[in-house]
Structure 1
């Protein structure tokens, strides 16, 4: 089972202790809830966290005032800048995969009075209008995208290639690529880290290569749905000849 590694506590500028998990949790909530795209925005949102929530997170408690405190913006910046992004992503994605395989307990989200969220409505409609047939294999989509609001040290765009579950819509894994042209090798590196045996992987035409197809079927024990486009004449001709021959069925 994947677990986040135990990490030492960090000290803020004034010497107070703030566990790394407190900063990661507040950052995740600020990013998901309000779309904070800067450390300043994340810290401003975190500063409004209630005392009850900070207590549950294990935030530092000032012995003089008795109040739980939020790390300073400077501490947020130092901790987030020092993170190993690949290790953090592997831990989070590994936990998600464990939940999907029932190897870890499913997080219990309390029901909140009020209208249901848009994605909940969409999921309900899909289950009614497009009910999955029995015996359907689990599927995942692999694609690469440019990350909004993030830049490299040289002020370039950040490209990520990720794998997302068809059924649950959760990220099973992702990694950064040097640029759009390096997406193919990065995709194969990512797939090699994942447990995709028995899964159907859908990929766009950029990944329609022998290397990727053979990796999925021969080494990882998975299946693929790959796209052939007009700008791949040799591959299309080979596929047409194979699918129209005596063994077409």
Structure 2
């Protein structure tokens, strides 16, 4: 295989080489790395969201690229060949999902740590900056990040609606960073009720020490709190609801009072965009381990939303608990973290559903639904690490195979 010369240029190939091949060695024609690399690169390009489209794109790969990634040479045809669609389907359906997620997310971690070159997406000299990129730049000025923020990641699950397996639909739990939207890891669980059981498996391989992990009410348990503040060496922000009635009632009692009484422990954030206005009012109060393992503060977040005319039409109040002391996170920080948790919805779930049409997929065999979800995560990480905000726009920038393979230094 002609991949040794690429190992320095692209950490992705090194990572993908660690994924075990599910096939028997006897009669093996096409190396696993070739199939994985072609799938990863095809997923970068708009319109290639199914196995059929991926193979169709791969069939037009230049011969020199196929040689570099170690594709099979057919002496009768005198050229390097691409695996058939059937081979793509069979291999993707038999992959070790955990190993593939470790490889693809590990590549992103390599880039973040500086152990691999950041991907580069070519943009035309005369092309104007697209709208989402301008919004990000504007928001950085109008809503600057508070000083002293810890790196934070949101954890949540997603159902692949079009998938079918012998045990039901595929349900995936992922961790994604608040600020850059980089997916750190992903694991599959039998259903939403099993989501909490996989948290340890998801977080254990990740370097989350010193980070703040934000989770919804489903994960608010003493076991999860002890895991995060103990072996993982991280901090948590958890939502309190009916599944923790005593802690919920205690938080409500600590946070009851007039706005004047909490004036020094309140942060108000006004936002306008996407056809609505929103005011987020967060107040905090100190607590200790007697309320919840590792707890240091409780908070109440009130969200008032309405139209662009400023008239409030809806109100929502949630209570939560954090393991951060007041000197590490004041009301302004907690308000920012609570808003950042929605990155898992807006920058992962929504993007995969809309940009990649994931819920319309009818892929049902073996681990193939999860495998393509892993490659979509890789695509999201790749574009965001290249500094792109709009994934659909970035996918359209890759017009030919040369530009696409160049993203990963191939």
Q: CA deviation at 1:209?
A: 1.2
> In structure 2, what is the Cα distance between the partners aligned to 1:9 and 1:202?
35
> Which structure is higher in RCO with an 8 Å CA cutoff and minimum separation 6?
2
Per the alignment, do residues 150 and 9 of structure 1 end up closer, same or farther by CA in structure 2, a change over 3 Å counting?
A: closer
- Listed one character per residue, the Cα deviations across residues 19-77 of structure 1 (whole Å, up to 9, x for unaligned) are 21221122123334245454223212322334454344333343344433211112212
* Cα RMSD (Å): 3.2
TM-score (norm 1): 0.81
**162-171 or 21-30: which moved more?**
21-30
Unpaired stretches in structure 1, ≥5 consecutive residues: none
Match among 187, 193, 209 for residue 175 of structure 1 = 187
Note if 1:90 corresponds to 2:102. Answer: yes
Match among 96, 112, 116 for residue 105 of structure 1 = 116
> In structure 2, what is the Cα distance between the partners aligned to 1:126 and 1:229?
32
> In structure 2, what is the Cα distance between the partners aligned to 1:196 and 1:127?
25
Note if 1:208 corresponds to 2:212. Answer: no
> In structure 1, what is the Cα distance between the partners aligned to 2:210 and 2:217?
22
**Contact kept in structure 1, 2:19 and 2:99, CA below 8 Å:** no
> In structure 2, what is the Cα distance between the partners aligned to 1:172 and 1:241?
37
**Contact kept in structure 2, 1:10 and 1:17, CA below 8 Å:** no
Note if 1:81 corresponds to 2:90. Answer: no
Which protein has the bigger strand share? 2
- Listed one character per residue, the Cα deviations across residues 59-105 of structure 1 (whole Å, up to 9, x for unaligned) are 33433444332111122122222211111111222232232233x12
**Contact kept in structure 2, 1:37 and 1:149, CA below 8 Å:** no
Secondary structure of the residue aligned to 2:179 is: coil
Who is 1:196 aligned against? Answer: 208
- Listed one character per residue, the Cα deviations across residues 86-133 of structure 1 (whole Å, up to 9, x for unaligned) are 11111222232232233x123241432134556544443343333323
Q: CA deviation at 1:146?
A: 0.5
Match among 129, 149, 168 for residue 142 of structure 2 = 129
> In structure 1, what is the Cα distance between the partners aligned to 2:205 and 2:111?
17
> In structure 2, what is the Cα distance between the partners aligned to 1:178 and 1:7?
23
TM-score (norm 2): 0.52
Secondary structure of the residue aligned to 2:80 is: coil
Per the alignment, do residues 83 and 225 of structure 1 end up closer, same or farther by CA in structure 2, a change over 3 Å counting?
A: same
Task: Report how many aligned residue pairs link the two structures.
Answer: 244
> In structure 1, what is the Cα distance between the partners aligned to 2:154 and 2:162?
23
> In structure 1, what is the Cα distance between the partners aligned to 2:84 and 2:52?
10
Per the alignment, do residues 51 and 115 of structure 1 end up closer, same or farther by CA in structure 2, a change over 3 Å counting?
A: farther
- Listed one character per residue, the Cα deviations across residues 209-231 of structure 1 (whole Å, up to 9, x for unaligned) are 11111111122111111112356
Q: CA deviation at 1:175?
A: 0.4
**Contact kept in structure 2, 1:93 and 1:171, CA below 8 Å:** yes
Secondary structure of the residue aligned to 1:226 is: strand
Q: CA deviation at 1:237?
A: 1.3
Unpaired stretches in structure 2, ≥5 consecutive residues: 1-10, 257-284, 288-296, 298-325, 327-410
> In structure 1, what is the Cα distance between the partners aligned to 2:66 and 2:145?
41
Per the alignment, do residues 63 and 231 of structure 1 end up closer, same or farther by CA in structure 2, a change over 3 Å counting?
A: same
